[in-house]
Amino acid sequence: MKIDKNTTLKIAKLCRIKVRDEEIEELSSQLSSILDWVEKLNEVNTDNIEPLNNVSIATLPLRKDKENLQDQSKEVLSNAPEKLENYFAVPKVVE
Amino acid sequence: MEFNTITESLEKINSNKISIVELNDIFINRIKKNKNLNAFIYFDEENISQQIKKIQSSKNNFKLKGIPLAIKDLFCTKNMPTTAGSKILQNFQPSYESHVSQKLLDQGSIFLGKANCDEFAMGSATNTSYYGNTINPISPRGSQLVPGGSSGGSAAAVAANLCLGATGTDTGGSIRQPASFCGVVGIKPTYGLCSRWGIIAFASSLDQAGVFANNIADTAILLREIAGYDNKDSTSANREIPNYFENLNQDMSGKVVGVPKEYILPDIPEDISKIWEQAIKSLERGGVKVKNISLPHTKYALPAYYIIAPAEASSNLARYDGVRYGFRSEEGTSLDEMYELTRSEGFGKEVKRRVLIGTYVLSAGYYEAYYIKAQKVRKLISNDFNEAFKECDFILTPTAPSPAFPLGDKEDDPIKMYLNDIFTVPASLAGIPGISIPFGKSQNGLPLGIQLLSKHFDEQLVLNAGLYLEKNNV
Amino acid sequence: MSSLIQGKFSKWETVIGLEIHAQIKSNSKLFSSSSTKFGSSPNSQVSLFDAAMPGMLPVINEFCIKQAVKTGLGLKAKINRYSVFDRKNYFYADLPQGYQISQYKHPIIGEGAVTIDFKDGSSKDIRIVRLHLEQDAGKSLHDQNPSKTYVDLNRSGVALMEIVSEPDLNSSHEASLYITKIRSILMYLDTCDGNMQEGSLRTDVNISVRKPGEELGTRCEIKNLNSIKFIKQAIEYEAMRQIKIIEEGGIIEQNTLLFNPQLGKTKPMRSKEEAHDYRYFPDPDLLPLKLEDDFIEIIKKDIPELPDERKKRYINEYKLSNYDSSVLTIEKSISDYFDQVLGCHKDLKKSAKLVVNWITSELFAILKKNEVEIHNSPITPYNLGQLVKLIISNKISGKIAKDVFEDMYKNSLSPEEIVNSRGLAQVTNVKEIELIIDQILKLNYDKVNDYKAGKTKLLGFFVGQAMQISKGKANPKILNDILIKKLS
């Protein structure tokens, strides 16, 4: 199997999603199938082809350096699960 | 009086044959009678009443005065919660309105509610939403068919006449495929035509806002109102927007339609091949020349998409971490633990799968082999279309490889579900516009859709071709 | 110049590369319009984009691009016409998007170099690998609550320039010279305010040790140092730590470290135990940045005379030493001050060295004592020049000048006003001085005899007496000459 249990756990850690023990096997199997399936791309010769990152026709628009002085703290904190005064509060980071 | 189209309803509102309240009451009552469809995540009569009062007291010249619409719950709305069909945004109340929905409000439309969708737009059956699945209104008695996805709630609402139009988003087919399954019109515009600001991002280089309606004319009206440059979106195209409705013209004589041979799959159901043939013949009768074209890299589009979209999604969904908004797990005692439990509980299975795939294909050692490879294939697919459009003006294909299927089907195998997008994904990768119009029925009487694709920013052409086929549907 | 460290058994070379994060001086952030002002109340300078609300998108600040190009030009570096913004993905409380918008494979600025000057007159070129644009992160407060961390996103999204050097530095001293030079250039260009206490300039140090001539050793990274003092201490500690380990037979583990200023030690960062996989990929919300030649030309015109050029000018025009020129040009405000002194008084050109002395010893000292910056100095360049002129023309002695100088600082008066009002003009009239001397010699007849008998040290006594009577105003040279003549 392309994605074994350890790899699944490693990826899950990277993207901060807890995978329960009961889920690991089915998940690893599904991920493996999907990756096997997308490997079909190896049939295509892509020598000398540039990756296409964006299909937009725009050129990067530039913004003028004018600051918005509005204090949006109330708005920005309005949906916070936990806050104290004007800070977001989270469980402590173990440093 | 019938109120099945925007054009008719606008006429009656503007000539005072019906009031905005009366018009919307019709739809409100229908919504209440069809709760079983679960087309709406959010529906509140008082909210609608407030909106109507505001429109009534305004002196503005509205282009969509009083028209009832459904808004896919991926668009952030100031006066309605926005969930993206996810637990992780349960009770999230944006303090801002998406650019596209603001444009609709500016034209006096009424938002009847937030339409259900697959979680974070990931799905093809509107069966991954935390708020339950949506039922396709055309489901025969005693059965429950899916409306397609991810914009299944929007498509179902239009098909069941719960509203006159709806917004959706299309990343790999999420407007076109449900339009096909539900028997309504759905359009995905050129990438960059509509602003993505305020739309919850799934895959940034693919997401596009679009609309559903009952016919081409209504679609054209709605598209015109949502399209246009937005300086808050750095990928927004700065182009003049044509008046799609006024320019509608079903005279297709002299045009060339391309029929890509790679879309002729061995296992396509016969009834779908049949409607494809019928559409081609109908166009021929209208003076359209038919050209067999080749889009050689078609079969690689789905695998490329299922690398690129999850990769971008894995990054776009990193902000859902329980810190600043949305659901937060109470259990975590450290920051990392809180992240892991919040996201594990807050995201559904499909979302988790795609975030994991996306993380994997971007990770060290795999980035070149997967992500870069997929972007190169994307270039080839885009080139295929560029070449094809040298030989034809637009392209005709079926929208989906099947009609609406029963709820519960294909759920055991993610890849089976992904194959629903086989005809819609290539256009998404290339960023070209695509429309699905209802055309014919399956053997079991279910709606089937035909897809029209054109060059970048040539929405008018697919609308015109769609109009022709709408009127010449034999 | 040997900067090798003596270990227990052999000499060791320290190899150091620095990554400097400099906050761009701009009104608004890199991808949003929020203000960049320092010290505002928490989360008051945070837009929906900065808080990573759903559906928000970046729009780049044109001025920040210009500042980066300007800096690149100041570092004599290659301006890349094509650059790409990439997402650097990781999770942290002060990183709301769950990724930082940065530049990975295609930075805006390429290779350049900076020269550092040593006291002995020699110099060394430190190569710069690249400079790229990226978002700053917010701030986490860990010590306000035993189980909670508080997050302020004001700083989140402020534009940073990350300047990466080659590992060309070989001592803590060189590192401090390099940072000082970079800071100086940035402040000359006005692209960064260089305020290290406010976090405008932060440095990550990459350090390894090896025996001279051998392969590069395993390096460790010390993160987030925000003062030159700490950078030096951290380098010195870490070099010794690594040498000790190797000499005791161990191997260096590649680690990310934090420096504890109280303990003076480095220790591994716990959260970096698993190697970070940042999964860089081009940000799909932003298109590549393409710079046109005329965009760059316009910025070129805006480049002021930079420290190295000013130094050259001081050496050539004023014949100042390399060292003096370096001291003057460290900060633009200092060399601006010096230029203004000479600008007001072109006739001081030949006495430039004296001007330098007055600036770097007296003025610096009094400014430091009062915690005032030179651009706010109560002593104007014009007045300082006047003071020096009074000394040169013998109007006042050097000693009196110091007194006048203090008065000038306190009362913001011109030197003439002070000398005249206090009657401090030097006595140079030979006859006057002779009178004073005659008076003293008469009063101290016995000491005169002692002097003539061989106690020549008594000259100092006579000088002192004469100074007392003249209230310090007698011209010392004239006084000395006449005394010696009269005593012989």
**Chain B contact present for A41, CB below 8 A:** yes
Residues of B in contact with C57 (CB under 8 A): 196-197, 232-234
Neighbours of C267 (CB within 10 A): 12
Burial of C90 (0-12, 13-18, 19+ CB in 10 A): middle
Contact C367, C358 (CB under 8 A): no
Inspect the interface and report whether the beta carbons of B205 and A55 lie closer than 8 Å.
yes
Each residue's pLDDT tens digit, B58-79: 999 999 999 999 999 999 999 9
Each residue's pLDDT tens digit, C38-84: 999 999 999 999 999 999 999 999 999 999 999 999 999 999 999 99
**Chain C contact present for B334, CB below 8 A:** no
Given B9, B12, B65, B72, the catalytic residue: B72
Nearest Cα to Cα of residue A27 among A48, A52, A7 = A7
Segments forming the whole domain that contains residue B25: 1-474
Domains and CATH numbers, chain C: 5-299 (no CATH), 305-422 (no CATH), 430-487 (1.10.10.410)
What ranges in C94-227 are assigned the alpha helix state H?
Answer: 172-189
Dig out the tokens for B180 from the structure: 């096909």
**C270 closest CB neighbour out of A66, A77, A95:** A95
Sign of CA dihedral B19, B22, B26, B29: positive
* Helix, strand, or coil (residue B136): coil
**Chain A contact present for B400, CB below 8 A:** no
Among the listed ranges B343-347, C149-153, C445-449, C470-474, which one has the minimum average pLDDT value? Answer: C470-474
Residues of A in contact with B324 (CB under 8 A): 76-77, 79-80, 88
DSSP class of residue A41 equals G
CA distance, residue A67 to nearest chain C CA (Å): 5
The b/e string for C395-414 (b: 16+ C-beta within 10 A; e otherwise) is bbbeebbebbbebbbeeebb
CA–CA gap between residue B194 and residue B201 (Å, rounded): 14
β-sheet bridge partners, residue B256:
B289
Residues of B in contact with C99 (CB under 8 A): 315, 318
Residues of A in contact with C58 (CB under 8 A): none
Query: How large a percentage of chain B has pLDDT more than 90?
Result: 95
C488 versus B95: the higher-pLDDT residue is B95
Contact B339, B298 (CB under 8 A): no
Look at strands A62-63 and C60-61 and give their pairing. parallel
Burial of B109 (0-12, 13-18, 19+ CB in 10 A): buried
Return the amino acid letter for C230. F
Cα-only R_g, chain C = 30
Each residue's pLDDT tens digit, C347-369: 899 999 999 999 999 999 999 99
* Nearest chain A alpha carbon to C286: A60
What integer is the mean pLDDT of B24-34?
97
Residue B212 scores a pLDDT above 80: yes
Residue C163 scores a pLDDT above 90: yes
**Chain B contact present for A59, CB below 8 A:** no
Sign of CA dihedral C426, C432, C435, C439: negative
Res A25: pLDDT = 94
H/E run at residue C4 = none
Residue from C285, C286, C287, C290 whose CB has the most chain B CBs within 10 Å, to mutate: C285
Q: What is the CATH number of the domain that holds B113?
A: 3.90.1300.10
What integer is the mean pLDDT of C172-197?
95
**Chain A contact present for B375, CB below 8 A:** yes
Angle (nearest 5°) at CA B9 between B3 and B14: 150
**Chain A contact present for C67, CB below 8 A:** no
What ranges in B317-348 are assigned the alpha helix state H?
Answer: 335-346
Tens of pLDDT along chain A (95 residues)? 689 999 999 999 999 999 999 999 999 999 999 999 999 999 999 999 999 988 987 899 999 999 999 999 999 999 999 999 999 999 998 75
Q: Could you report how far apart the first and last alpha carbons of chain C are, in Å?
A: 52
Compute CA distances C90 → A13, B315, B318, C466, whole Å.
Answer: 11, 9, 8, 77
Residue C457 scores a pLDDT above 90: no
Nearest Cα to Cα of residue C205 among C246, C159, C238 = C238
Length of chain C measured in residues: 488
**Chain A contact present for C276, CB below 8 A:** no
* Nearest chain A alpha carbon to C25: A65
CA–CA gap between residue A84 and residue A82 (Å, rounded): 7
B65 is an active site residue: no
Instruction: State how many domains chain B has.
Output: 1
CA distance, residue B412 to nearest chain A CA (Å): 10
**A60 closest CB neighbour out of C269, C271, C288:** C288
Res A95: pLDDT = 58
Burial of C274 (0-12, 13-18, 19+ CB in 10 A): exposed
CA–CA gap between residue B168 and residue B180 (Å, rounded): 14
Contact C289, C132 (CB under 8 A): no
Compute CA distances C244 → C8, C206, C238, C248, whole Å.
Answer: 8, 18, 10, 6
B72 is an active site residue: yes
Res C2: pLDDT = 64
Each residue's pLDDT tens digit, C104-122: 999 999 999 999 988 888 8
Residue A55 domain-assigned? no
Listed in sequence order, the residues at least 6 apart from B464 whose beta carbon sits closer than 8 Å to its beta carbon are: B247, B248, B249, B250, B251, B252
Contact B162, B136 (CB under 8 A): no
Backbone angles phi, psi at B253, to 5 degrees: -60, 140
Cis previous bond, B124, omega within 30: no
B150 is an active site residue: yes
Compute CA distances C26 → A19, B443, C153, C294, whole Å.
Answer: 44, 66, 17, 22
Residue A27 domain-assigned? yes
Among the listed ranges B18-22, C8-12, C173-177, C257-261, which one has the minimum average pLDDT value? Answer: C8-12
Nearest Cα to Cα of residue B187 among B463, B469, B472, B465 = B463
CA distance, residue B362 to nearest chain C CA (Å): 5
Residue from B78, B298, B356, B379 whose CB has the most chain A CBs within 10 Å, to mutate: B356
CA distance, residue B358 to nearest chain C CA (Å): 10
Mean pLDDT of all residues belonging to chain C: 92
Global pTM value: 0.91
Residue from A9, A66, A72, A79 whose CB has the most chain C CBs within 10 Å, to mutate: A72
Dig out the tokens for C130 from the structure: 């690249």
Compute CA distances C137 → B40, B348, C29, C97, whole Å.
Answer: 38, 29, 12, 10
Inspect the interface and report whether the beta carbons of A73 and C41 lie closer than 8 Å.
yes
Inspect the interface and report whether the beta carbons of B234 and C149 lie closer than 8 Å.
no
* Helix, strand, or coil (residue B298): helix
Nearest Cα to Cα of residue B415 among B333, B357, B376 = B357
Residues of A in contact with B379 (CB under 8 A): 49-52
β-sheet bridge partners, residue C139:
C152
Dig out the tokens for B441 from the structure: 């029925």
Q: How confident is the model at residue B1 (pLDDT cuts 50, 70, 90)?
A: low
Dig out the tokens for B406 from the structure: 């029963």
Sign of CA dihedral C77, C81, C82, C83: positive
Given B86, B150, B180, B454, the catalytic residue: B150
Segments forming the whole domain that contains residue A22: 5-42
Inspect the interface and report whether the beta carbons of C46 and A62 lie closer than 8 Å.
no
Residue C1 scores a pLDDT above 70: no
CA distance, residue C292 to nearest chain B CA (Å): 19
Instruction: State how many domains chain A has.
Output: 1
Compute CA distances C453 → C450, C458, C482, whole Å.
Answer: 5, 11, 19
Q: In B, residues 99-158, which contact A (CB 8 Å cutoff)?
A: none
Q: In A, residues 51-90, which contact C (CB 8 Å cutoff)?
A: 53-54, 56, 58-69, 71-73, 75-77, 84-90
* Chains touching C, CB cut-off 8 Å, 3+ pairs: A, B
Contact A87, C141 (CB under 8 A): yes
